[in-house]
């Protein structure tokens, strides 16, 4: 084996990215990288051992971003058939030191390693180089977290803010809350802004005016990912109701991003990550997101000064795990 490297990973319910990084390098470019189908392996240790064997890597540390809280070990990860146990992984790798980060913590650190090509600005603002940073990421769920400056470096702020209660601010949003409450009980921001939230918003609008539903879209919705189908129909203006659902969804996403920015006083910026944002980028850029973001009464003006950027790099959590590993 060659020089000692840091092995970083982003373990997801479907796919896992693993890569080896040179801790002496100036840039976050992996020496070697692989993508794996997560559930094809019997354990996290087996997955890491396969990577080490295939790439002939000599690891000094392993740092993994995982989907779940990491305060109690082993981690029972969301949408995975096995626990993620640092001890089991270390044993599989002959005693290598293993660290786990929540996937939003990893994504937060990853924003520090991104380049301008990895980002799309929604609001220029005035960046505070030592200010707090907020990260919001809608995908299957809604992740929220951030970074705080501690004098010499940034440290991650863990959060389960996506499960906080949705706060409607107009009659339409109150009606949306009632619709979701009847079906789910407690209505969190995740119910509204995570991927399934777009389909729920569309269903809510259809329930109000069923005569407006497109027959063609109704047939299409029965065959695949409903939220993805609705977002494409809305972006392409193929269905007026889908366009309205996407518009309301985007506005509410901006509202919650603004809430997070206020709670963290994120003068260092807000990063919009997750799998949904790049897919609806054109909609995010039309002003509706920022309308929700700054719509905070007398606090709207301070929010206008905060840079807001969409993360386009789907390997940000992988970069974040490597970034954290290089601080050890």
Confidence at residue 144, expressed as pLDDT on a 0 to 100 scale: 94
pLDDT, one tens digit per residue, over 91-141 is 999 999 999 999 999 999 999 999 999 999 999 999 899 999 999 999 888
259 versus 3: the higher-pLDDT residue is: 259
> What average pLDDT does this structure show over 292-304?
96
Banded model confidence at residue 313, pLDDT cuts 50, 70, 90: very high
Evaluate if residue 2 carries a pLDDT over 70: no
Place of tokens 């609008």: 205
Q: What is the model's pTM? A: 0.93
Distances from the Cα of 228 to the Cαs of 189, 231, 234, 273, 274, in angstroms? 19, 5, 10, 17, 14
Q: Are 253 and 138 in contact (CB under 8 A)?
A: yes
Tell the CATH topology of 4-109+316-325: Nucleotidyltransferase; domain 5 (3.30.420)
Q: Do 4-109+316-325 and 116-312 fold alike per CATH?
A: no
Tens-digit pLDDT profile for residues 143-202 = 999 999 999 999 999 888 999 999 999 999 999 999 999 999 999 999 999 989 999 999
What is the pLDDT, as a whole number, of residue 1?
53
Look at residue 84 in the predicted model and tell me its pLDDT.
96
State how beta strands 97-102 and 58-66 pair.
Answer: parallel
Instruction: Determine contact, residues 111/326, Cβ cutoff 8 Å.
Output: no
Residue-range domain boundaries for the chain: 4-109+316-325, 116-312
116-312 under CATH 2.60.40.1120, yes or no: no
β-bridge mates for residue 32, sequence order: 20
Give yes or no for a contact between 221 and 234, defined as CB atoms under 8 angstroms apart: no
In the structure, what pLDDT confidence band is assigned to residue 88 with cuts at 50, 70 and 90?
very high
Max intra-chain CA distance, the chain: 66
pLDDT per residue over 129-142, tens digit each?
999 999 999 988 89
Report the distance separating Cα 5 and Cα 30, nearest Å: 10
pLDDT digits (tens, 9 = 90+) for 37-80: 999 999 999 999 999 999 999 999 999 999 888 888 999 887 78
Alpha carbon distance 223, 246 (integer Å): 20
Q: Rounded to the nearest 10 degrees, how much is the dihedral formed by the CA atoms of 227, 229, 232, 236?
A: -130
* Residues 177 and 150 sit within 8 Å (Cβ to Cβ): no
Cα–Cα dist 311/17, whole Å: 17
């Amino acid at each position: 084996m060659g020089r000692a490297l840091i092995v970083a990973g982003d373990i997801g319910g479907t796919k896992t990215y693993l890569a080896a990084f040179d801790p002496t390098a100036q840039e976050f470019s992996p020496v070697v990288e692989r993508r794996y189908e997560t559930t094809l392996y019997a354990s996290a240790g087996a997955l890491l051992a396969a990577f080490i064997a295939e790439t002939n890597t000599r690891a000094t540390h392993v740092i993994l971003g995982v989907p779940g809280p990491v305060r109690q070990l082993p981690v029972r990860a969301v949408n995975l058939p096995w626990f993620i146990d640092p001890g089991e992984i270390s044993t599989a790798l002959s005693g290598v030191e293993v660290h786990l980060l929540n996937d939003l913590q990893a994504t937060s650190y990853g924003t520090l390693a991104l380049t301008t090509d990895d980002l799309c600005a929604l609001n220029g603002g005035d960046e505070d180089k030592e200010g707090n940073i907020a990260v919001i990421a809608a995908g299957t769920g809604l992740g929220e977290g951030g970074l705080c400056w501690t004098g010499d470096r940034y440290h991650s702020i863990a959060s389960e803010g996506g499960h906080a209660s949705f706060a409607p601010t107009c009659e339409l949003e109150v009606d949306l809350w009632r619709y979701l409450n009847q079906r789910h009980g407690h209505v969190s921001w995740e119910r509204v802004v995570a991927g399934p939230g777009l389909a729920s918003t569309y269903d809510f609008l259809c329930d109000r005016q069923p005569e407006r539903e497109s027959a063609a879209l109704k047939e299409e919705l029965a065959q695949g990912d409903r939220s993805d189908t609705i977002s494409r129909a809305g972006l392409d203006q193929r269905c007026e109701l889908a366009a309205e659902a996407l518009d309301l969804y985007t506005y509410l996403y901006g509202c919650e991003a603004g809430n997070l920015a206020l709670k963290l006083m994120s003068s260092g910026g807000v990063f919009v990550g997750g799998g949904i944002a790049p897919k609806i980028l054109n909609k995010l850029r039309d002003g509706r997101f920022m309308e929700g973001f700054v719509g905070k009464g007398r606090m709207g003006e301070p929010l206008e000064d905060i840079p807001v950027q969409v993360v386009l790099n789907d390997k940000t959590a992988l970069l974040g795990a490597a970034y954290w590993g290089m601080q050890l």
